[in-house]
Structure 1
Amino acid sequence: MPIDPAKATTAAPRTFPLAWDHKDILLYHLGIGAGIPATDPDELRYTLESRLHVLPGFATVAGGGRAVAGVLSVPGIEVDLAAVLHGGQTVTLHRPIPVRSCDATQTSRVAAVYDKGKAAVIVLRTDVADGDGPLWTGTSEIFVKGEGGFGGERGSTERLEPPATPPDFTVDRPTREDQALLYRLSGDWNPLHADPEFAKLAGFDRPILHGLCSYGIVLKAVVDTAFGGDVSRVRSYTTRFAGVVHPGETLRVRLWRDALGPGRIQVTATAVERDEAPVLMDTVVEHTCRLDPQHG
């Protein structure tokens, strides 16, 4: 059996060192579309080392994104890369991510394996800390086509419906035709995002954008629109990947500030060119509140 849930969830956690510096952060920010317009002071916070702050989505690629890639080598998991998709992602910040770290460590384990019938979902938990203590916790849901039906627990099926009220903000974020080629330099080398022939093997007519690239683009839109660019406001960010993005398409991001109560912004993202097909759903950004009528 390609996936042995009991073996995977009881395997010993894996711990390995992480290191990054400003170049890794700059590359990540460029990979999610930062730097347009290139001389905009608000964009220079993402693209100029002397003004640099770290968007929390960087947690998904720190150290070359080894967490998600590592799930494929966990004991009890043997799957075809062409059958793998990212199903969901959460990052919970314990404190702001530093611009440079040479002594961070990441500990990863398979927290659960769910049986969705025609697919399996592997839940990977990662905890990252440095010499000053915990930095962030990440939870990745990895969707593996054709690996369900083993009689395991199905997991949660709850969905977060978009509010019936108009959004507080609606912003469009275009992607470039080479967006996936740039983003993959941060560590996700899955050929699904670059090789047309491999994409066809995976069931797509052309390469698709990384789900975590869309994840970063949307978080940046929230931070810039609702928080005035203050990345330190973000406490956690969770989403379900509901559909694909083709490089060159435009993401339409909608934000509701108060639908879930203070300190929680509900978000959706759709692909404008395909009749607003869903891209990100069940998406919530938890944040610290402040008395600011403009930015919440």
Structure 2
Amino acid sequence: MNVSPWRGHDLGTRTVAYTERDAILYALAVGAPATALDLVHEERLRVLPTFALTLAQWAPDALGALGALDATTAVHGAQHLVVQRPLDPAGELTTRARVTEVWDKGSAAVFEVEVSAESFVATWSLFAPGAGGFGGERGPAAPARPEGGAARHVSVDTHVRQAALYRLLGDRHAMHIDPAAARAAGQPRPFLHGLCALAATTLTLAPALGAHPADLTELRARFAAPVFPGDRLDVTALTDGGGAARFEASTDGRRALSGGRVRFHPAASAAERTFPKENSHA
């Protein structure tokens, strides 16, 4: 098998600064209600762990800027996040990034971009039309649908303005706001960022699993179909015990998130186990 020349490519390091305002804006953008004071009020702020993914967005963007893929047609295929320690309410992070693997899908390629910092390790899987055909391995198959375990069902209501708000956090790809750019990416209209849909799902799943959303320790999912602003996500989670669950989410009968797995630290107190179930998007 041949190997892509991009495999192992070092994307360098970047120090990213953020403020309490950024962390609060993120929480609101992914669906935290105004009553969740520990997510939206600076006096008691706990930062959602998925906020780290906005701080690492520079890395997949840098790969596109180098010409490895066409950023106007490439789409986010899957995401993995391992949380190593909580993010401070404000501060700086030094992040390091590299291309860990490139899978050959024939007419396309999947680039895996790993970004690491002291507080997290995150891996993007980017599906890039036109970048395959180099004779490499196809990579792992799509994950099977979850089976077994105690089921939990929740709904996540997205908002028609949600993609426009979320893009202010760093991912400003035009396909999420410009109809012409969305059509160029093969979609009928602008669609929600996969990471926004995933974070909104995680935010809502946490209380259903008896956890606080800021206690997330690991998250993974595949973006199986687009979510459009205003869609409702129907989420089924099968619990594995110890704060872990496998999940998938559907909208209009289409699986949007598949192969999902989430794990939380056990809630430290009854107060933390209580989290508002209101879905209120700015």
TM-score, length-scaled by structure 1: 0.84
Counterpart CA distance in 2 for 1:199 and 1:146 is 18
**Which of residues 48, 57, 67 in structure 2 aligns to 1:55?**
48
Deviations 1:35-69 (A, max 9, x none): 2xx3x3xx222211112211111111026x21221
How many Å apart are 1:291 and its aligned residue?
9.8
Counterpart CA distance in 1 for 2:8 and 2:250 is 38
Tell me if structure 1 keeps the 8 A contact 2:4–2:134: no
How many Å apart are 1:229 and its aligned residue?
2.3
Tell me if structure 2 keeps the 8 A contact 1:87–1:143: yes
1:86 equivalent in alignment to 2:84: no
How many residues end up aligned between the 2 structures? 271
How many Å apart are 1:292 and its aligned residue?
9.2
Task: Kindly provide the amino acid, as one letter, of the partner of residue 113 in structure 1.
Answer: V
1:267 equivalent in alignment to 2:257: no
Distance 1:223 1:120, change over 3 A: same
1:285 equivalent in alignment to 2:262: yes
Counterpart in 1 of 2:20? 22
Distance 1:287 1:160, change over 3 A: farther
Task: Kindly provide the amino acid, as one letter, of the partner of residue 52 in structure 1.
Answer: L
Counterpart CA distance in 1 for 2:178 and 2:213 is 36
How many Å apart are 1:163 and its aligned residue?
1.6
Counterpart CA distance in 1 for 2:7 and 2:238 is 37
TM-score, length-scaled by structure 2: 0.88
Task: Kindly provide the amino acid, as one letter, of the partner of residue 193 in structure 2.
Answer: H
**Which of residues 144, 159, 164 in structure 1 aligns to 2:143?**
159
Counterpart CA distance in 2 for 1:184 and 1:213 is 9
Tell me if structure 1 keeps the 8 A contact 2:203–2:213: no
Listed as ranges, the matches of 1:35-114 within 5 Å are: 35=33, 38=34, 40=35, 43-62=36-55, 65-74=57-66, 77-102=67-92, 104-114=93-103
**Which of residues 238, 245, 249 in structure 1 aligns to 2:231?**
249
- Please state whether the residue corresponding to 2:207 is helix, strand or coil: helix
1:229 equivalent in alignment to 2:212: yes
Tell me if structure 1 keeps the 8 A contact 2:211–2:264: no
Q: Which of 1 and 2 has higher RCO (CA within 8 Å, sep 6+)?
A: 2
Distance 1:80 1:290, change over 3 A: closer
Distance 1:165 1:235, change over 3 A: closer
Residue segments in structure 1 that go unaligned for 5+ positions in a row: 129-133
Counterpart CA distance in 2 for 1:252 and 1:194 is 24
Counterpart in 2 of 1:124? 113
Distance 1:49 1:5, change over 3 A: farther
Task: Kindly provide the amino acid, as one letter, of the partner of residue 246 in structure 2.
Answer: Q
Counterpart CA distance in 2 for 1:288 and 1:222 is 13
**Which of residues 205, 223, 242 in structure 1 aligns to 2:188?**
205
How many Å apart are 1:142 and its aligned residue?
0.4
Tell me if structure 2 keeps the 8 A contact 1:116–1:149: yes
Deviations 1:1-60 (A, max 9, x none): xxx95432243340111111111111111111222xx3x3xx222211112211111111
Counterpart CA distance in 1 for 2:178 and 2:199 is 22
Counterpart in 1 of 2:131? 147
Counterpart in 1 of 2:203? 220
Between stretches 221-230 and 25-34, larger displacement belongs to 221-230
Counterpart in 1 of 2:167? 184
